[in-house]
Structure 1
């Protein structure tokens, strides 16, 4: 179909192409319209409506120009890709600096881990003498002693309430709740 347009360098109506294509190129007349429409969709053939008729044409210079533009676009994309590749390679090379694997350091690693574990164990031994830990124990002792001294008061308050509410005696309450006689 393109060869017909390139050879004649003329504009055609659909009915003209349907007559020419089967004779000169062996394209069936039933498929001429579909082929022509696909060429128009691909911008290989131009079309224009003049009055009530549609005219179709394609010139070799347009195809050559389209190919040159496409080639230039692909070359530009190729060049951009090469520049990006160089920039990324430089970034990778820059990132590798200082990250080389040092075999000597890898050999020292197990010994360093063992030494660290020994130092942690020794630190745990002396933790009792740490001023912060001692201060924490003192605060805990103060809080605990407060609770120890307030506990009997709470028990006596509950016993007093139970005596008033239920009219029970101290000995029966002590026996029921297993409170020893020397509880004070």
Structure 2
């Protein structure tokens, strides 16, 4: 309790008869103040994430550079890397699955090990695998694009194949045969023409 509390106690509660309701209310209030003023760093420390545990266990292998039994790792993990014993087996198995830790059974015992060069080679191999996948994806994309262009070309309705042109309903065939028909390629769907382009290329050139 702080000094002000004891001063208050001596001033107002100098006899046994004074230990009534008021005393205990003051006592409880000062206790609560003490609890509220506890340092924040006394709160429970946050545990390690799964990836942090993996990193620390892999560091242990690289620092020691020797094979271990699982029971040895379950002792060293908590002691050297702060990884709880209950998590060690799962972490080691995940590292083995990702080819970052090697394992082999010798007699009746299973050993685990990993050297820095192993991790480097695994990363380099993963980079090469990713490059191969990227190249394969690019090749497939080119093939798909080519197929799409074929489909689009086949689905375009050609003007000269239409009855409107062949029977010359609007005079397009006559203009074409006399060399007065102009064709333009524009971006957009049917009749969805950019008006700025239409003004510049059609109105300004032919209708003014």
Alignment TM-score, normalising by the size of structure 1? 0.50
Structure with the larger helix share: 1
Structure having the higher Rg? 1
| Higher RCO (C-alpha under 8 Å, 6+ residues apart) | 1
TM-score, length of structure 2 as denominator length: 0.45
